[in-house]
Structure 1
Amino acid sequence: MAQQTEAELKMANLLVEALNLEDIEAEEIGPEEQLFGDGLGLDSIDALEIAVAISQEYGVKLKAESESTREAFATLRSLTEYVAKQQ
């Protein structure tokens, strides 16, 4: 498994807290692991909760209809990079 960067660990902690993930530690989320479907198994409700948490923490608005937002939600790494570019 690839190593998380400091920014990815911070984002992983935000995901764990926002979604109240009790069965997983932030450090266990692989940066290239899929967040939805077969990976972490998140769903559309989780995406909304993540978007709210990111907006509160980073001041970045994620638009559901945007293709770039859908691509950003692919992995922890892509989400972290997307938010960093939007700040």
Structure 2
Amino acid sequence: VAELLEQFDLVESARKPLVTYSGGMRRRLDLAMTLVAAPRVLFLDEPTSGLDPRSRHTMWDIVRGLVSDGTTVLLTTQHLDEADEL
């Protein structure tokens, strides 16, 4: 869990109430919680929706890492340039 909090840039916010999280932080937390179980197949629906550009870049790096580690990722996105890159 500590590794996921660090990977998703949530270490400083880990002990704060969820109600204080921004939409982007909630989106990152949602994916981090999903990864605790190390799924072999992951369905992502608009995983970068509501994220700032820096967080979007980080999220795509995480998705690339999951794929390179053998996780099958099925994803929907409206950002066709990002989908093509992945």
Q: TM-score normalized by structure 1?
A: 0.29
| Richer in strand (by share) | 2
Q: TM-score normalized by structure 2?
A: 0.29
